[in-house]
Amino acid sequence: MGELTPETITDAVLDQMAMTPDPRMREVMASAVKHLHAFAREVNLTPAEWIKGIEFMTAVGKICTPARQECILLSDTLGLSALVNGLHDNTAVEEGTHTSLLGPFYREASPSLSAGSHIARTVKPGSECVLYGRVSDVNGKPLANATVSIWQTGADGLYDIQENAASTDYRGVFTTDADGVYVLRTVKPIGYSIPMDGPVGAMVRAQGRHGMRPAHIHFLVGAPGYRELVTALYLRDDPYIADDVVFGPSGDLAVEIETNDPSCPIKGLPSIRFDMRLSREGAADKTSGRVGSDPAAILKPTARTGQSPASAAG
Ligand SMILES: [Fe+2]
């Protein structure tokens, strides 16, 4: 047995893991170990820093509940979620609307609502607006009966599950009509701070970052034969559009609030139009492409299996 040194330890670990039967697990873990060791060598990681990292990861796990997913928040604030979303987009057979963060506030159990319904129980004067758009394939062919799940914060910048894990508000599931159109009433989205009272918030503060997200509304769209789309619209004029703490916006997701859009199906209110194009399903869509999940589903005894949205979580 050779002597283990900072220079030889990586190969020793890789040798021991080389018999991993699952080839993808072998590949991913070998790369993770190589980069983790390279990182420790590059910064000459000290024992005190190592234990600080262990304490941090312990705190991230401990604060997670069925309504709060600090691990996803950590991934989001490190840009890993946005990176994985981008890599996922690269595997689509066609270029549709870009993916954006699912975030930590998606909820499987959302009410199915008819076209034109309001998703907000509380509407402050002047905050109401119409949200509509067309779901199509990448060539513009409308997709009828597509499922459009929508969730956003209320006027206080909080999601329903942050205020009360048992209540449902500012979210709903709609179905597109024969022209691929979905339409609903809601409130204008506002920018908000990510939860700053946990270990991820402490990290963000220590880095001198503001912790803000630009105003946005989340979407999860599905249609048979097409790749599921997890995305969000962002208000173009939001002051945090260029430095979102979780790196969500990209060019095709920025929209504006219109005051008199003649094509809006509901008149008399400000409106947001957000059209989405879905790629046809391909080989990469055999497993879920969601970067995230319902926090409650992550804590269920049966772990996620990478199955389709109908049978798994998001
Ligand atoms: Fe959000």
pLDDT digits (tens, 9 = 90+) for 233-262: 999 999 999 999 999 998 799 999 999 999
Residues 233/274, Cβ–Cβ less than 8 Å? yes
Ligand 1 centroid–CA 1 distance in Å is 53
Clarify whether residues 124 and 160 are in a common domain.
yes
- As to burial, measured by CB atoms within 10 angstroms (0-12 exposed, 13-18 middle, 19+ buried), residue 23 is exposed
Query: Residues, the chain, total?
Result: 314
| Token pair 């204008």 in the structure block, residue | 188
Residue 241 in any domain: the answer is yes
Clarify whether residues 247 and 196 are in a common domain.
yes
Residue 294 in any domain: the answer is yes
Clarify whether residues 14 and 161 are in a common domain.
no
Q: What residues contact residue 256 under an 8 Å CB cut-off, 6+ apart?
A: 235, 236, 237, 272
Clarify whether residues 193 and 267 are in a common domain.
yes
Residue 186 in any domain: the answer is yes
Q: Which residues pair with 231 in a beta bridge?
A: 219
Ligand 1 centroid–CA 179 distance in Å is 28
Clarify whether residues 22 and 85 are in a common domain.
no
Ligand 1 centroid–CA 97 distance in Å is 18
Residue 308 in any domain: the answer is no
Clarify whether residues 112 and 35 are in a common domain.
no
Residue 100 in any domain: the answer is yes
Residue 2 in any domain: the answer is no
Predicted local distance difference test score (pLDDT) of residue 288? 83
Question: What amino acid is encoded at 190 in this protein?
Answer: I
Clarify whether residues 29 and 157 are in a common domain.
no
Clarify whether residues 116 and 166 are in a common domain.
yes
Q: Per residue of the chain (314 residues), give pLDDT as tens.
A: 678 999 999 999 999 999 999 999 999 999 999 999 999 999 999 999 999 999 999 999 999 998 889 999 999 999 999 999 999 999 999 999 999 999 888 988 899 999 999 999 888 889 999 999 999 999 999 999 999 999 999 888 889 988 887 888 999 999 999 999 999 999 999 999 999 999 999 999 999 999 999 999 999 999 999 999 999 999 999 999 999 999 999 879 999 999 999 999 999 999 999 999 999 999 888 888 888 778 888 777 555 544 433 333 33
Clarify whether residues 219 and 172 are in a common domain.
yes
User: What total number of domains does the chain contain?
Assistant: 2
Residue 260 in any domain: the answer is yes
Ligand 1 centroid–CA 105 distance in Å is 7
> Using the 8-state DSSP alphabet, how is residue 97 labeled?
S
Ligand 1 centroid–CA 218 distance in Å is 6
> Which domain range does residue 246 map to?
70-298
- As to burial, measured by CB atoms within 10 angstroms (0-12 exposed, 13-18 middle, 19+ buried), residue 227 is buried
Residue 183 in any domain: the answer is yes
Ligand 1 centroid–CA 113 distance in Å is 21
Ligand 1 centroid–CA 58 distance in Å is 25
**Dihedral sign computed on CA atoms, order 165, 166, 170, 175:** positive
Task: Note the helical H segments in the chain.
Answer: 9-17, 23-43, 47-62, 70-77, 80-89, 160-163, 199-206, 295-298
The CATH number assigned to the domain holding 178 equals 2.60.130.10
